[in-house]
Structure 1
Amino acid sequence: MRPSLLGTAALLLLVCAGWLALAPVQADPVAWQAPANPGYTGAYAANERLADLSTIALDGAVGPEHIALGPDGWLYAAVAGGSVLRMRPDGSGQEIWAQTGGRVLGFAFEGSGRMIAADAMRGLLAIAAEAPHHVTVLADRMPDGEPIRFADAVTIAPDGSVYFTDASRRFSPREHGGPFEASLLDFLEHEPTGRVLVYRPGQGVEVVADGLSFANGIVMSQDGRALFVAESGNYRVWRIAADGRRLDLRHGPSAQASVLLADLPGFPDNLMRGMDGRIWLGLAKPRTASADATAGHPFLRKLALRLPRFLWPLPPAYGHVLAFDEDGKVLADLQDPDGAYRDTTGVLETADRLYIHSLHAEGIGWLPKARARLP
């Protein structure tokens, strides 16, 4: 190689090295200690019970992130683009039931049939049961004016109080390209800014618990006294007192907050109340040794943020859902190592089927409940 070409190549290498070391990034990673990864052993022993799902096509819609039965016995599914779809349990009769203009990630129905929705773009919403299903914003800010940036999941208490998660106070899906992109930034930064909030009609919003690394799915205990909350960034599920206020989970467990499931082999996502006391959890992605290895090295995660998106260290596809009871005992575990159905974020259990949620899939996956081998 001629000297002039060598000089040019050296200069380009220096520019690239300088850019990787100094270019600004959207997140400011912090050091943390990744918990042990048990892998697919014990209660999570590898299996293929989630493989070969049947699929309900959604006429071009994608990402049925949350699916539930409505008071009318029909299926409701929140998909990308802000639509909530309605259909019969076999997928027929599909229609756009409501449009929020944002991205609903979780919802629940009041006794009146009104839907309460956690919209990642717009906050906590109420959607009228009667056509044309008007959308009302219940809460998009805290009493001090701070925005609720990433409303994620919702559950309704017997007294009408609405508990919901604000996954990240740092990264808003509206400002960072959508829920998936914003969640990646939160995982890479790993500053625990997620929280659990409660909304009471006429009383506004209060903080139940703060200091979670991406607060995700939420359900209420059968007695209405506790909340189960998925903390995606730390691979665990918490049990938190419903009457707790301003709990700081950065300091670890307390009398009002304890870890129910720890060291999960993937990123926990939606939580759904099933039958016979079961709670279903979806693991959207598996853990990887390479990601955990960078936990104590924020600089390496900054380097990753400067790489083109296709070079980011994303986990491979791996389908995984499980059921547990309120004492944390795993009752069922279903996996698809091939990950044919993308990003298994949750499960709706009915009398004869399990419907699988996904942030990105092009349909609703389902299987006969008998395949789950439930106790």
Structure 2
Amino acid sequence: MKKIAPFVAAASGLVLLYLLLWPVPVSPVVWNAPAAPGYTGPHAVNTRLGNLRMIDLQGEVGPEHIQFGRDGKLYTTVASGNILRMEADGTAQQVFANTDGRVLGFDFDAQGNLIAADAVKGLLSIAPDAKVTVLTDTVNGDPIRYADAVVVAKNGKMYFSDASTRFAPKDWGGTFEASVLDILEQASTGRILEYDPATKTTRLVASGLSFANGVALSEDEQSLFVNETGKYRVWKIAVNANELDVRTLGTHAHAQAQVLLDNLPGYPDNLMRGLDGKIWLGFAKPRNPTVDNMAGKPWLRSLTLRLPRVLWPIPKAYGHVMAFTEDGKVVADLQDPSGSYPETTAITETKDRLYVQSLHAHGLGWLPK
């Protein structure tokens, strides 16, 4: 035993040095995570999202965004880079286009072009004949690294999120891996951009967001609702804001930006306009106490990334979507505590159905209304 002891001590010392000093890609910063509210009040535990009906996607995975086109067909994006087109009941499926990237959000312009936020390629326009054109992949000379969500205004301008200017999915193993790095770091480099097709220019609307995610327009199209995934909140930002850094605002009201929903019970992902003035929000994951407890301990977040991935504090699966009005009132809340349908990132609402968006599901879930 005496002969083995020095080797054990040396090995332990090497492990300790590795955990303390091995380089990691993040430079975590201190932030104040609010105490998690839990599933109470308007978010009281329920099973309204359980027993989803499924549309088989024929081997495709991750219907992250779902929307109906001007042709009446249902379109959805999947992890392969394909954009699928089908009837409302899932029949007559076909591949409409492939971007060789990963489209996370899209909308349609007045000409029927599918405007796509591709996390690898930037902001794209896909014509009805499936021709793909890059609209923009830089702003002020800086690359757009993580295009995430997009909405097209009636005047043609396109507002979209660049989730992180630090971690591009193409460089860090994919969209999920890059999002984990960005949220662990909390450098708040996400931003909202505007592309004007009339002038072919891209400008910065707002910056300083901890993983800028879902984007929706107000009914009067004067404001944007934006999910700040890393800090569990939703912002309301004026479309005419220009280079506004929301980090400078704190919790104070501002003429051009304010926090509409704060301290949510999970990581807010996509935003979709529903019927009767509703805006649907999906939660990719619930809050994780371990992650919140590391908010003030950046060194501990660096150490976490030196552990095997199976030991990372990834939150459990938990199905959860909600709807709110433009003044921030929660008007619907659907949950599935079993998490059988992974990463319920939002709802696409029609008069007959609720389609459930997901980053990793192997089918397209829906509920009759």
Question: What TM-score, normalized to structure 2?
Answer: 0.98
Please, which of 204, 207, 228 is the counterpart of residue 204 of structure 2? Answer: 207
Give runs of ≥4 in structure 1 deviating > 4 Å.
none
Alignment of 1:124-135 (within 5 A): 124-130=123-129, 133-135=130-132
SS in structure 1 at match of 2:258: strand
| Per-residue Cα deviation, 1:287-335 (whole angstroms, up to 9, x for no partner) | 0111100000000000101111111000001000000110100010000
Alignment of 1:306-317 (within 5 A): 306-317=306-317
**Residues in 2 aligned to 1:120 and 1:36: alpha-carbon distance in whole angstroms:** 31
2:288/2:313 contact within 8 Å kept: no
| Per-residue Cα deviation, 1:90-140 (whole angstroms, up to 9, x for no partner) | 11111110000000000000121100000000000000012xx11000000
**Residues in 1 aligned to 2:125 and 2:45: alpha-carbon distance in whole angstroms:** 40
**Residues in 2 aligned to 1:102 and 1:246: alpha-carbon distance in whole angstroms:** 28
Identity %: 57
Given the alignment of the two structures, is residue 181 of structure 1 paired with residue 180 of structure 2, yes or no? no
| Corresponding position of 2:236 | 239
- Number of equivalent positions: 365
2:67/2:348 contact within 8 Å kept: yes
| Corresponding position of 1:360 | 360
User: Partner amino acid for 1:235?
Assistant: Y
**Residues in 2 aligned to 1:62 and 1:188: alpha-carbon distance in whole angstroms:** 26
CA shift at 1:52, angstroms?
1.2
SS in structure 1 at match of 2:37: coil
Please, which of 155, 163, 166 is the counterpart of residue 167 of structure 1? Answer: 163
| Corresponding position of 1:256 | 256
**Residues in 2 aligned to 1:272 and 1:61: alpha-carbon distance in whole angstroms:** 22
**Residues in 2 aligned to 1:358 and 1:157: alpha-carbon distance in whole angstroms:** 25
Please, which of 220, 225, 228 is the counterpart of residue 223 of structure 1? Answer: 220
**Residues in 2 aligned to 1:332 and 1:181: alpha-carbon distance in whole angstroms:** 30
SS in structure 2 at match of 1:7: helix
| Corresponding position of 1:304 | 304
**Residues in 2 aligned to 1:33 and 1:40: alpha-carbon distance in whole angstroms:** 21
What root-mean-square deviation, in Å, do the aligned CA atoms of Structure 1 and Structure 2 show? 0.8
**Residues in 1 aligned to 2:27 and 2:314: alpha-carbon distance in whole angstroms:** 18
Question: What TM-score, normalized to structure 1?
Answer: 0.96
User: Where do 5+ consecutive residues of structure 1 fail to align?
Assistant: 370-375
SS in structure 1 at match of 2:333: strand
User: Partner amino acid for 1:109?
Assistant: F
User: Partner amino acid for 2:274?
Assistant: G
User: Where do 5+ consecutive residues of structure 2 fail to align?
Assistant: none
Alignment of 1:1-375 (within 5 A): 2-130=1-129, 133-143=130-140, 145-201=141-197, 202-252=199-249, 253-369=253-369
**Residues in 2 aligned to 1:151 and 1:288: alpha-carbon distance in whole angstroms:** 26
